[in-house]
Amino acid sequence: MKIDILTVVPDLLESPFSHSILKRAREKGLLQVNVHNLRKWAINKHMQVDDYQFGGGAGMVIMPEPLANAIDELQQDGKYDEIIFMTPDGKPFTQKTANNLSLKENILIICGHYKGIDERIRQRYVTMEISIGDYVLSGGELAAAVVVDAIGRLIPGVLNDETSALFDSFQDNLLAPPVYTRPADFRGDKVPEILTQGDPKKVEEWRHEQSLLRTRERRPDMLEE
């Protein structure tokens, strides 16, 4: 899978994909992430990519030309399956969206900044608008990092134990059960016996029960869905 990211602050995206699981995915050639500085497509020698909004009001808006020129040029290497704009007024990001996106081959993510991007780019180019939560970040970069992380780890072959993503919270509309490691007795707090008795069927039942309990307690809305 190839993911291109368009941003005015590429430095913000230097580290998130260079560690741990996503680093391995890139090294294995399963994931390619290219961060592009939108200023490469600036409209003048002052590197301008934004301007005041029509109708007045505080905050700059990213102009349509740099974005359109960037998308047209990048798309010469292959048409995007999805052009995503990160924005707080987008569709809330869920595990289901991550699952669907992990099956795509070629994605572009546009990070907004300032007041956002010119509406005409949203109308003409963007195929999907994503919000990572009901709060406003200073730009779309951290949100894009969240989305790339969530989908990158789902690409087949990325996780060592491929089945492990199947048991993540949200994959079956339940939160994940608690997990324990050594020591079996930590300052008097013991690991639930069932986990140390070696009966896989009982362990599975216990985990499912714990998932249900946890979901009912913390996210009853998920059980109503």
| Binding footprint of ligand ADE on the chain (CB under 6 A) | 86-88, 112, 131-133, 135-137, 140, 143
The CA distance from 113 to 219, in Å, is: 32
Closest separation in Å from C-beta 19 to ligand ADE = 22
Q: Which C-beta is closer to ligand ADE: that of 85 or that of 174?
A: 85
Between 78 and 92, name the residue whose CB sits nearer to ligand ADE: 92
Nearer to ligand ADE, 64 or 140 (CB): 140
Separation between Cα atoms, residue 112 and residue 118, nearest integer Å: 10
Q: How far is the CB of 59 from ligand ADE (least distance, A)?
A: 12
Task: Give the burial class of 83: count Cβ atoms within 10 A of its Cβ; 0-12 exposed, 13-18 middle, 19 or more buried.
Answer: buried
| Phi/psi of residue 103, nearest 5 degrees | -95, -5
Give first-to-last CA distance, the chain, whole Å: 31
Cβ at position 101, least distance to ligand ADE in Å: 14
Q: How far is the CB of 115 from ligand ADE (least distance, A)?
A: 11
Minimum CB distance to ligand ADE smaller for 84 or for 158: 84
Is 148 within 8 Å of 97 (Cβ atoms)? no
